[in-house]
Structure 1
Amino acid sequence: MTGIHESSIIYEAADGSELPMLVFEPAGGRQPAAGVVLFHGGALRKGSADELAPHCRQLALRGIFAVSAGYRLLDQGAMGIVDCVADVRRAIERFGGLAASRGLGASRLASGGSSAGGHLALVAAMINHEAPCPAVEPGVAAVVALNPPVDLLAFSPERQQWIEEDIGVAAGRAIDYSPIEFVRPGNPPMLIQHGTDDKVVPIDQVRRFRDVMVQVGNECVLLEHERAEHAFHYPGPGGHFDAVIDATVEFLLERLAAG
């Protein structure tokens, strides 16, 4: 595509295996204004980095260094969500190095993703399971998420049990991966875009998360796309893709370009 340069590299997963990174950046020696690494959805069991390539292309056309990264999937190298999160952290670290070589420091970088990928980005930015205190150094200055689960305890007890079994956590421990439980002053600024007709992650869940973030003094912008369902943000007849890109670019440039 004219105006951008596309490439692909690999990065090392937490278990030493190789995972893909698709890299999109302004062409012609143009300095990117900000950077973002995105993680695909698919309930941790399917999907690939290719799914968010259209988003990254459009972001790169608007002056943003954009990367779409894969991670190990459940039963495809990952034993549980802990492995997925570990890969996301590795990807963010690798992304930070790539961005630095293009003149972008951590204050100008964001992470994010779609659905399960957005949830992983939030977990990586908000939760440190390896320390007594949940505070974490996210490696990025902002998060941009598309229809992410943010409150795992908002689902029915039966659904919570299924989630715990599916992602490989102990019974009753879905709370350990529920971002709303880890809202603290100083969480990174966030942009969440969500459909009002989302049946997978109901909009009320995300509204509560936004409210809790704001109550403790954090910035959390929630853009509601009317009558949009889950995974509304892809190119196609739904008609939301351009609006999603416009909002993402505006948020990233306003929060990060001067970092």
Structure 2
Amino acid sequence: MTASRESSTIYDAADGSELPMLVFEPTEGTQPVAGIVMFHGGALRKGSADGLAPHCRQLASRGILAVSAGYRLIDQGATSIDDCIADARRAVEHFLGLAALRGLDSSRLASGGSSAGGHLALVAAMIAPDEPLPAPEPDVAAVVALNPVVDLLAYSPTQLQIIEQDAGIAAGRAIEYSPIEFVRPGNPPMLIQHGTHDEVASIDQARRFRDAMAQAGNDCILLEYEGAEHAFHYPGPAGHFDDVIDATAGFLLDRLATN
């Protein structure tokens, strides 16, 4: 395991404003063998790029270029989930450029995130930007999502109405943002890490998504953390941080570094 070095940069949001991007990479003279850009959680209304800095720092120590990107939050520059998704796409594009400067092409790059950020990564990788159709070719070669929402239609009508209102989704259009609806052969390999007692996105959602991916012939691993609740993967008393990092690094190195 190597040490890591840290820097920061900015990228242009879809509206032209500047957003932060924290960059973590192996020490000088050590070539990264894979890369990932990650998006923080917070229900699209709170959080910052700092939230996943501990994860990125540890991944960089494993030889992975790891970037944590901010995005406009709703009522803080964004008016709806569409703005957040647009920023995530911009962040991926900027990340591709940063990675290319470090000798990594798109076949060695992944996206991912936690909760709402994991959902953003999945949407950007699976859904075409101009209309609700499956993306023909994702910009990244893999996705790592930590406790994401993957099936918006799994919620009750009342819950779904609240989700639509909070995310700025037009009534009745949540299906257009639901990753499970866009599972098709050719989706990139995915690692989903989820707690069995997640109170925000049930483990049943994650299991159905994994099964749909498998049925479509795609590579999708679901790691279940017994008894873990939402946001189980941060450093602290939950005790799962090291296991999450080990699994993430192992997945990225296995799927991307051997290309």
Instruction: Please report the TM-score for the alignment, with normalisation by the length of structure 2.
Output: 0.98
What per-residue deviation string (whole Å, max 9, x for no partner) do you get for residues 105-142 of structure 1?
Answer: 00000000000000000000000141474324321000
SS of alignment partner, residue 118 of structure 1: helix
Q: What residue is the counterpart of 2:169 in the other structure?
A: 169
**Range moving further from structure 2, 240-249 or 129-138:** 129-138
Q: Residues of 2 paired with 1:133 and 1:249: CA distance?
A: 31
SS of alignment partner, residue 150 of structure 1: coil
SS of alignment partner, residue 145 of structure 2: strand
Q: Residues of 2 paired with 1:131 and 1:44: CA distance?
A: 21
2:160 equivalent to 1:160: yes
What per-residue deviation string (whole Å, max 9, x for no partner) do you get for residues 62-108 of structure 1?
Answer: 10000000000000000100000000000000000000000000000
Q: Residues of 1 paired with 2:141 and 2:179: CA distance?
A: 17
Q: What residue is the counterpart of 2:12 in the other structure?
A: 12
Change (3 A) 1:131 1:156: closer
Change (3 A) 1:171 1:219: same
Q: What residue is the counterpart of 2:236 in the other structure?
A: 236
In structure 2, give the amino acid aligned to 1:258: T
**Range moving further from structure 2, 128-137 or 46-55:** 128-137
Q: What residue is the counterpart of 2:66 in the other structure?
A: 66
Whether the aligned pair in 1 keeps the contact of 2:23 and 2:66 (CA below 8 Å) is yes
| Residues 176-215 of structure 1 aligned to structure 2 (within 5 Å) | 176-215=176-215
What per-residue deviation string (whole Å, max 9, x for no partner) do you get for residues 195-242 of structure 1?
Answer: 011111110011000000000100110000111100000001111000
Give unmatched runs, 5+ long, in structure 1: none
What per-residue deviation string (whole Å, max 9, x for no partner) do you get for residues 171-202 of structure 1?
Answer: 11000000000000000000000001111111
| Residues 65-104 of structure 1 aligned to structure 2 (within 5 Å) | 65-104=65-104
Instruction: Please report how far the alpha carbon of residue 169 of structure 1 lies from its aligned counterpart in structure 2 after TM superposition.
Output: 1.7
Whether the aligned pair in 2 keeps the contact of 1:180 and 1:209 (CA below 8 Å) is yes
Q: What residue is the counterpart of 1:121 in the other structure?
A: 121
In structure 2, give the amino acid aligned to 1:170: A
In structure 1, give the amino acid aligned to 2:55: H
Whether the aligned pair in 1 keeps the contact of 2:129 and 2:135 (CA below 8 Å) is no
Whether the aligned pair in 2 keeps the contact of 1:175 and 1:181 (CA below 8 Å) is yes
SS of alignment partner, residue 52 of structure 1: helix
What is the alpha-carbon root mean square deviation over aligned residues? 1.0
State, as a whole percentage, how many aligned pairs show the same letter: 76
Instruction: Please report the TM-score for the alignment, with normalisation by the length of structure 1.
Output: 0.98
Q: What residue is the counterpart of 2:51 in the other structure?
A: 51
In structure 2, give the amino acid aligned to 1:199: E
Whether the aligned pair in 2 keeps the contact of 1:3 and 1:28 (CA below 8 Å) is no
Q: Residues of 1 paired with 2:226 and 2:183: CA distance?
A: 27
SS of alignment partner, residue 85 of structure 1: helix
Whether the aligned pair in 2 keeps the contact of 1:33 and 1:64 (CA below 8 Å) is yes
In structure 2, give the amino acid aligned to 1:12: D
SS of alignment partner, residue 200 of structure 2: coil
Instruction: Please report how far the alpha carbon of residue 163 of structure 1 lies from its aligned counterpart in structure 2 after TM superposition.
Output: 1.0
Which runs of structure 1 show a deviation greater than 3 angstroms over 4 or more consecutive aligned residues? Answer: none
Whether the aligned pair in 2 keeps the contact of 1:125 and 1:136 (CA below 8 Å) is no
Q: Residues of 1 paired with 2:194 and 2:158: CA distance?
A: 24
Q: What residue is the counterpart of 1:134 in the other structure?
A: 134
Q: What residue is the counterpart of 1:112 in the other structure?
A: 112
Q: What residue is the counterpart of 1:222 in the other structure?
A: 222
